Amino acid sequence: MNPVVRISHSISGKGLVAVVAWGASFSVVRYALQFFNPFSLVTVRFGLGALLLFVILRVRGMRLLPAPNDLGMCSLLGCVLGGHLLIQSFGLQYTSAINTGWIIGFIPIMLAVGAHVVGRQRMGGIGWLGVLAGAGGVVLVTMSSLPNFRDSRLGDLLQFTSCLTWTIYTLVGAGPVERNGAMRVSAYVMGVAAVITLVPTISVGAFRQIPTLGAVVAVGFLGFICSGLVYYLWFQAVMEHGPARVGSLIYLEPFISLAVATMTLREVVTVNAAGGGLCVLIGVWLIARGTKAPPAPVEPGDAATKQRNDQTTE
């Protein structure tokens, strides 16, 4: 077995770094939106992330672009990903980072339902019970109005919609990622998303007010770390520890969002958010128990896969 894909039984430090960064990102976005509009924030974030991933690909001596036959699909994925992050950014203008973290926790449930519908991964009765629990949790989170947020229900609805866009992106992108590797596809897709959102950024203007040093650092964190380095670390962790072990770390993300938001933004934890979030996590756990595992994928970092991809797509 290639040592790169050896499955370790220890906790993945790289995966943990990724989850912590993603959990903190909602609070950072809310802070950055004081200075940047959603279009410019997404443009800069994806631009920096794409730049870093392209540099990593070049340093590793790998091709920069997906196969020609996949460029059209990857361009479409760029539109979906750009829309996904725009929806999240607009939503964070109306709802809290805490609510966002709990609602985003519904994504694994949507992915399980989508995979079941397209026949990629079947769910049993326990899994469908998890879907009901998770859906009830999201409803509970969005039932109460938040202090200091006049249109919190609109923000919650936008964040729920972003769960759908990420599900579409993940399911549709499975083929291109399998054929080209996750890093190559992600770099190209982020680049397309940055170019698309650049047009409205130029039209409406980039800044709401002159960015402070803190705002610049926040955008750098979102771009280089959350959209670039962390994505690279995540897939490295999957190769080293296996997708199931690393994927279980996602359960920590809503709690990290809650901790960062309460400490930095002084957001209030409502009873509905706590109870609904718990229901979402229970739903995800039930789905994990009631879903048949798919065959283990061949990781794009495997040397044989890399050689085969290069021969067939260059």
User: What DSSP designation does 123 have?
Assistant: B
Residue 20 lies in a domain: yes
Whether the pLDDT of residue 110 is over 60: the answer is: yes
Whether the pLDDT of residue 3 is over 60: the answer is: no
Whether 57 and 184 have beta carbons less than 8 Å apart is answered as yes
Residue 144 lies in a domain: no
Q: What is the pLDDT of residue 51?
A: 94
Share the mean pLDDT of the chain: 79
Which residue has 């790289």 as its token pair? 14
Count of the separate structural domains present in the chain: 1
The answer, as to whether pTM is greater than 0.85, is no
Q: What is the pLDDT of residue 19?
A: 83
Range of the domain at 204: 12-101+152-267
Residue 301 lies in a domain: no
Residue 75 lies in a domain: yes
Residue 74 lies in a domain: yes
Sequence-distant (6+) residues with CB within 8 A of 199 are none
Beta bridge partners of 36: 207
Q: What is the pLDDT of residue 313?
A: 37
d(Cα 248, Cα 18) in Å, to the nearest integer? 12
